[in-house]
Structure 1
Amino acid sequence: MTTPQLVELRIYHIKAGYREEFVDLFQQQARPAQEAYGMKVLGPLLDLENPNLVIWLRSFPPPDDRDRIREDFYEGPEWTSGLEELLMPLLDHYSVVLAQTTPGALEGSLNHES
């Protein structure tokens, strides 16, 4: 049986005209930095109706590790010495939905057991 994992659905409202810059920074710097801390990232995904909306997901290995991994990342040098000041000014606002997987839900790129 597959161990349940935690997945964050992250919805970012980017300031008008900055989505391409955000996506470039995310792909080149933010995603690799998060993956180096053990998170798996899917995205960014571009909303087809709203040119200022970016959606992405990230999953964590065992749920008990989520808080530690997030703390390590957000207190680490990648975030505090660069990514935060590059990415946050591009955001108007964002929301996060925290979900737990059901058996077989992550057959693919977000599954930490594959």
Structure 2
Amino acid sequence: MILEIRTYRLKPGTREEFVRVMREESVPLLERAGIRVVDCGPSLVAEDGHEEAYLIRAFATLDEHRSQEEAFYRSAAWRSGPREAIVSRIDSSHSIVLDAPEAAAAALRRA
């Protein structure tokens, strides 16, 4: 399984709304597109005083990761949906993609 951990450094004062939009709008849209979301939420600490959040997704293969992500971010549902509410609050983002056992996703999944 491929596990992607994405972190977001957010503009000041935007974390609460960013996480709300992510959980209520973006995650359901990702899941309808066939992308498995393991978890998302606010970081427990602020790196250098910056508000941060994360998104963890799982994919069967690296090729699936690339193709599903590309299709999702080009979709009309994303572009006319929560895209602006998400992107406008991000200062920067970083992703790590790794090969992991299925148990890793299960352990990270919030009940």
Shorter-chain TM-score tier:
0.7 to 0.9
Matching residue's letter, 2:58: S
Pick the aligned partner of 1:44 from 35, 40, 44. 40
Which residue of the partner structure matches residue 95 of structure 1?
A: 94
Runs of 4+ in 1 over 4 A off after TM superposition: none
- Go from structure 1 to structure 2 and tell me whether the alpha carbon gap of 1:103 and 1:87 turns closer, same or farther (over 3 Å shift): closer
Separation in 1, partners of 2:86, 2:102? 34
Separation in 2, partners of 1:27, 1:91? 16
TM-score by length of 1: 0.80
1:35–1:41 Cα contact (<8 Å) kept: yes
CA RMSD of aligned residues (A): 2.0
1:39–1:61 Cα contact (<8 Å) kept: no
Sequence identity, in percent?
25
- Go from structure 1 to structure 2 and tell me whether the alpha carbon gap of 1:14 and 1:102 turns closer, same or farther (over 3 Å shift): same
Separation in 2, partners of 1:93, 1:19? 13
Which residue of the partner structure matches residue 76 of structure 2?
A: 77
1:14–1:92 Cα contact (<8 Å) kept: yes
Pick the aligned partner of 2:5 from 5, 9, 12. 9
Structure 2 unmatched runs, 5+ = none
TM-score by length of 2: 0.82
Instruction: Determine which structure has more spread, i.e. the larger CA radius of gyration.
Output: 1
Structure 1 unmatched runs, 5+ = none
Separation in 2, partners of 1:109, 1:32? 18
Tell me by how many angstroms 1:27 deviates.
0.8
1:44-84 C-alpha deviation (Å, 9 max, x unpaired) = 23222216111220011333322221121111112111222
Higher helix share: 2
Deviates more, 1:57-66 or 1:69-78: 57-66
